[in-house]
Copies of this chain bind each other. A is one copy, B any other.
Amino acid sequence: MPKYIADFEHPIVELEKHLNDLKKNPSSTKKSYAREILRLEQEIDRLKVRVYRNLTPWQRIQLARHPERPQFLDYLSELFQNFIELRGDRLYGDDRAIIGGLANFNNFRVMVIGNEKGRKIKDKLEHNFGMPHPSGYRKAARLFRLAAKFHLPVVSFIDTPGAYPGIESEEHGQAGAIANNLRILAGLKVPVIAINIGEGGSGGALALGVANRVFMMENAYYSVITPEGCASILWGDSAHAPEAAAALALTADKLFKFKLIDGIIKEPLGGLRGEVLSVAAQLNEILLAALTELTGWDGEKLADERYKRLRKIGVFSEDKFYELAQGMRLIKGE
């Protein structure tokens, strides 16, 4: 399988290829050859740092969508034990774009739920590229309630381009299913911890994300609209997606600055590829700390804290004088 390469990675890949070719054909004199190898290696390192330390939002989105990026099931198998999958919404289906069940995390018993995109093409189709139908959100709702009943914390992994925009999903109440999850999660009497591991595509992502603690991987994004969609609306051309991505302030660092998330999990240079080991320790620590803290709280406090977190989100201006003037006008009968 050819390695997937994002546009902005081409210069690095070119140099790497050149280096490899050189290594395969040691034709030059030994001294200049070794020097050339060293030079190339240094250049690659410098380039990598320059590219990956200065990623634009759009470039981060490429990494968040990278086909080799670890997915929910990879984290599940690395960080959790004794996973028992619970399937179905008890209504109309078992949406494979959302997977959930019971598991152990260190000493904790938890309900773990996440978007799964699928890796191979067959899996991608089965998991619908991580885009849930209403059935998936309703399965999640069932599991949220089950978790609350049995006093199990909910740990959710967000990684979806968004809720599936199709005919049946609309007919079966996509909007209502998402809204219902927002309401359920907000009021849940157990700890809820959400981790955005890749794509946080709008309401379809938020439907697993109303939590007491929200974390993001360094190259994950969270957005009200896809940059492509935003660009289509504002420029009439999705090619402006990179600019839209920049305008939307959708990266982890921005969201952390805005205090919309609680922490960022650092990724290796170039973003996660294939394996989760490089972030497992961080994730483990962050989750363990959150669970340890939150399981000490009672249900009311957990729901209240979640509400308070949401309650204060928003930036707006408040013109008390205007309001007063409006009131006066009314009294004067204008």
Q: Which residues of A contact B (CB under 8 A)?
A: 90-92, 134, 138, 171-173, 176
Contact = CB atoms under 8 A, between A and B. Distances in A.
Contacts of A90: 173, 176
B176 A92 contact: no
Contacts of A172: 91-92
Contact of A173 (B91, B171, B173, B176): B91
Nearest to A172: B92
Contacts of A134: 91
Contacts of A176: 90
A38 B173 CA distance: 66
Of all A-B residue pairs in the complex, the 8 with the closest CB atoms, nearest first, are A92-B172, A90-B176, A91-B91, A92-B92, A91-B173, A90-B173, A91-B172, A92-B173
Select the residue from A90, A92, A171, A176 with max chain B CB neighbours within 10 A.
Answer: A92
Nearest to A168: B92
A279 to B, nearest CB: 38
A189 to B, nearest CB: 19
A91 B175 CA distance: 11
A173 B171 CA distance: 19
A171 B90 CA distance: 10
12 contacts: A90-B173, A90-B176, A91-B91, A91-B92, A91-B134, A91-B138, A91-B172, A91-B173, A92-B92, A92-B171, A92-B172, A92-B173
A108 to B, nearest CB: 31
Which of A134, A173, A176 gathers the greatest number of chain B CB atoms within 10 Å? Answer: A173
Contacts of A173: 90-92
A177 to B, nearest CB: 8
A172 to B, nearest CB: 5
A126 to B, nearest CB: 19
A175 to B, nearest CB: 11
Nearest to A171: B92
A67 to B, nearest CB: 34
Nearest to A134: B91
A91 B172 CA distance: 6
A279 B273 CA distance: 75
A163 to B, nearest CB: 16
A9 B41 CA distance: 101
A138 B90 CA distance: 12
A224 to B, nearest CB: 25
